[in-house]
Amino acid sequence: MQPKEPKNFIEKLIEEDLASGRYTRVHTRFPPEPNGYLHIGHAKAIVLNFSIAEKYGGLCNLRMDDTNPLTEKQEYVDAAIRDVRWLGYDWGDRLYYASDYFEKLYEFAKELIKKGLAYVDDLSPEEIRQYRGTLTEPGRESPYRNRSVEENLELFERMKNGEFEEGQKVLRAKIDMASPNLNMRDPVIYRIIKASHYRTGDRWCIYPTYDFAHPLSDAIEGITHSLCTLEFEDHRPLYEWFIERLGPTKPRQIEFARLNITYMVLSKRKLTRLVEEGHVSGWDDPRMPTLAGLRRRGYTPEAIRNFCQMIGVSKAQSLVDIELLEHCLREDLNRRAPRRMAVLRPLRVVIDNLPEGYIEEVELENNPEDPEAGKRKVPFTRELYIDRDDFMEEPPPKFYRLAPGREVRLKGAYIVRCERIEKDPQTGEIKTIHCRYDPDSRSGTSTRKTKATIHWISVSHSIEAEVRLYERLFREPNPEECEDFIECLNPNSLEVLRGCRVEPSLADAGVGDVFQFLRVGYFCVDPDSKRGMPVFNRAVTLKDEWAKIRQKIRL
RNA sequence: UGGGGCGUAGCCAAAGGGUAAGGCAGGAGACUUUGGAUCUCCCAUUUGGAGGUUCGAAUCCUCCCGCCCCAGCCA
């Protein structure tokens, strides 16, 4: 008997619905509004909806919730499709658009009018607000609330025909102006917007609101469980009000807490601002939490899906530690990313007891986690580069790497000892490290141990690369709490390194390929790469014991 | 001071009358030709608080406290 997988509260509710016979099947949907790029918060909803459908043998639709012509664009539709597919999900032929339902929705609205449950209101937006009352006081009924069905029908048709200006008239549901739930105080369900819609063009000048379009779109598609975020909890009575009166099927709305991650901002409004004000290079800037950005950064669909499963689903507001996301990436990349040696900040090393022009091929594993990945040959020569971080003239305690008089192993090759340092007489900068190698210490043939093994690259066999080091975009764990989140941007979120030296094979790496640069981190080939000048984005660093120690001793 | 929700470890999150899972982070150690990976161990005498019911309460009851959402013709 297997210990049963803990089910989240939504799965429990679904199983109750199935057991009670309320539903005999499960059908979910992911309904983004195409007014921005999908981000990792959407990924939570995507994974939830698709995995629940799969778990219960049901289906999940992809639906564009496009009822506002002012903010929506085809570009965002294309991006959403690309991103959901990239995440690994398949909606079959069920890509739908709320805008495809405009005709049906219009008919539903007329039906509501005929039932005496909706009316055309002439109040201005400001007046509607005043009539709505406040949190503690009931609203007042509009003087136009009791128009006849015939008049409402006629006015609504004239609205549709463009006979009125924006803001002049709206269609409202006739519910209860005294309801303690503001959403029930005669919500607007149709408004006049004389803008052309990216899909329906100028065919309509009246558009349904979310509150009206969403439940009915769900009902049209035969959705059983309509999962949405907590802020719609207050809308559920309204959702049900429309479904009960007009719905061809009866979906159930269930709300869960939206995702928040430390050092990130996950609201489309804020992300749009980052893009529009140029704080990032675009929606796919590798620092962005968008799926496009994470993809460019080097995140894999598997890592993101796993993360979404690990964070769970509940109704408690949460702020997930970004380290969990990073953990999921490392876990995935560790077992699949080919290893390569790359020197980010080159420091020249000359092995004095090796002849000029000496070349020896040493063999390195492509991935110690995956024997199938095979091995590769790397040239070992007299002049090498190592990383500046791997040498210290005056090493503090616990620094195990190279220092005057000290030995380290060059990964896959020999043990070298630092004999002397050559400095620039003017600046005092270290120019070259002179070492001697131990000919009997060749990797694989010697058991001699050193405190550390460092990576290296042959000067004459390396190629140049640009490396972009990313850190968290914000310096505050919760940028939402900043007065203005822009003020909390991390000024060091991007550091560009030029003149990095990498293995020659990396010249042919394809855009999107991810490698582990030995001892440094995981790096993804950026589309900005040019022939002979690859550009790498650091997806995430490797865990680093020394970095931790260094931070402590500097405190 | 209207309505709707939510409080279990630093962060997520199970358990829903039978004596607090798991993951991340953190700590200690083993191993290691990546200070990576892997492995082992530690990390809530207690579930926002106070009462009550019960042999037994994170779970049931009462009161209190705190946090989030709602007054768009956004979604």
**Structure confidence by residue, pLDDT tens digits, A469-513:** 999 999 999 998 888 999 999 999 999 999 999 999 899 899 999
Same domain, A129 and A163: yes
Encode pLDDT of A28-76 as tens digits: 999 999 999 999 999 999 999 999 999 999 999 999 999 999 999 999 9
Closest by CA to A9, choosing from A257, A214, A219, is A257
Same domain, A218 and A315: no
Same domain, A305 and A220: no
Which value, to the nearest 10 degrees, does the dihedral of the CA atoms of residues A317, A322, A325, A330 take?
-160
Same domain, A26 and A170: yes
Same domain, A438 and A472: no
Mean pLDDT score of chain A: 96
Asked whether residue A2 is assigned to any structural domain, the reply reads no
Strand B proximity: list residues 168-187 of A with CB under 7 Å: 168-170, 180-183, 187
| Domain extent for A219 | 9-256
In this predicted structure, what is the pLDDT of residue A508? 87
Report, as residue numbers or ranges, the catalytic residues of A: 33, 258, 268
* Residue A518 Cβ < 7 Å to strand B: yes
Same domain, A177 and A144: yes
In this predicted structure, what is the pLDDT of residue A4? 59
Asked whether residue A388 is assigned to any structural domain, the reply reads yes
Asked whether residue A118 is assigned to any structural domain, the reply reads yes
Q: How far is CA A536 from CA A186, A268, A316, A346, A348, in A?
A: 55, 27, 38, 16, 22
Nucleotide closest to A549 measured between CA and C1' = B35
Closest by CA to A240, choosing from A188, A184, A191, is A184
What is the arrangement of strands in the sheet containing A535-541, beginning at the earlier edge strand?
A339-340, A514-517, A521-525, A535-541, A463-470, A494-502, A342-343
Is-above-0.90 flag for pTM?
A: yes
Q: Count the Cβ atoms, other than its own, within 10 Å of residue A334.
A: 15
Strand B proximity: list residues 80-139 of A with CB under 7 Å: 123-125, 128-129, 132, 134-136
CA of A411 to C1' of B16 (A): 55
CA–CA gap between residue A138 and residue A73 (Å, rounded): 38
Kindly state the helix (H) or strand (E) to which residue A356 belongs, with its residue range.
Answer: none
Closest by CA to A452, choosing from A418, A494, A410, is A410
Place A439 in a pLDDT band, splitting at 50, 70 and 90.
Answer: very high
Q: Which of A455, A479, A498 is the last residue of a domain?
A: A455
Same domain, A307 and A382: no
Q: Decide: A328 and A490 in contact? Cβ < 8 Å.
A: no
Same domain, A18 and A121: yes
CA–CA gap between residue A246 and residue A244 (Å, rounded): 6
Same domain, A240 and A295: no
Strand locations in A426-530 (E):
430-437, 453-454, 457-458, 463-470, 494-502, 514-517, 521-525
Q: Which of A207, A234, A256 is the last residue of a domain?
A: A256
CA–CA gap between residue A218 and residue A65 (Å, rounded): 11
The amino acid at residue A491 is: P
Place A3 in a pLDDT band, splitting at 50, 70 and 90.
Answer: very low
Closest by CA to A517, choosing from A337, A320, A305, is A337
Strand B proximity: list residues 342-381 of A with CB under 7 Å: 367-369
For residue A436, the domain's CATH number is 2.40.240.10
* Residue A456 Cβ < 7 Å to strand B: no
Q: Count the Cβ atoms, other than its own, within 10 Å of residue A374.
A: 10
Residues 6+ apart with CB under 8 A from A468: A286, A494, A495, A496, A497, A526, A535, A536, A537, A538
Q: Which two tokens stand for residue A541?
A: 């660093």
CA of A281 to C1' of B61 (A): 57
Strand B proximity: list residues 434-453 of A with CB under 7 Å: 442-446, 449, 452-453
Place A551 in a pLDDT band, splitting at 50, 70 and 90.
Answer: confident
Task: Reply yes or no on whether the pLDDT at A197 is more than 70.
Answer: yes
Q: Which of A1-10, A169-178, A189-198 has the lowest mean pLDDT?
A: A1-10
Q: Which of A203, A228, A256 is the last residue of a domain?
A: A256
* Residue A426 Cβ < 7 Å to strand B: no
In this predicted structure, what is the pLDDT of residue A553? 82
Task: With both helix axes pointing from N to C terminus, report the angle between A40-55 and A74-87 in degrees, rounded to the nearest 10.
Answer: 60
Task: Reply yes or no on whether the pLDDT at A2 is more than 60.
Answer: no
Encode pLDDT of A452-468 as tens digits: 999 999 999 999 999 99
In this predicted structure, what is the pLDDT of residue A555? 55
Degrees (nearest 5) of the Cα angle A390, A394, A399?
Answer: 50
Q: Which of A170-184, A303-317, A378-392, A539-553 has the lowest mean pLDDT?
A: A539-553
Domain count along chain A: 3
CA–CA gap between residue A111 and residue A115 (Å, rounded): 6
Q: Are strands A383-387 and A457-458 parallel, antiparallel or unpaired?
A: antiparallel
Q: Which two tokens stand for residue A165?
A: 């200006």
Encode pLDDT of A200-232 as tens digits: 999 999 999 999 999 999 999 999 999 999 999
Name the β-bridge partners of A467. Answer: A497, A536
* Residue A140 Cβ < 7 Å to strand B: no
Which value, to the nearest 10 degrees, does the dihedral of the CA atoms of residues A218, A220, A224, A230 take?
10
Name the β-bridge partners of A489. Answer: A474
In this predicted structure, what is the pLDDT of residue A481? 87
DSSP state at residue A304:
H
In this predicted structure, what is the pLDDT of residue A50? 98
Nucleotide closest to A123 measured between CA and C1' = B73
Query: Which of strand B's nucleotides are less than 7 A from any protein C-beta?
Result: 1-8, 10-15, 21-27, 33-38, 67-75
For residue A474, the domain's CATH number is 1.10.1160.10
CA of A129 to C1' of B72 (A): 10
Which residue shows structure tokens 């968290």? A472
Same domain, A408 and A497: no
Name the β-bridge partners of A289. Answer: none
Same domain, A303 and A176: no
Same domain, A288 and A192: no
Where are the alpha helices (H) located in A277-376, listed in sequence order? 291-297, 301-310, 322-336
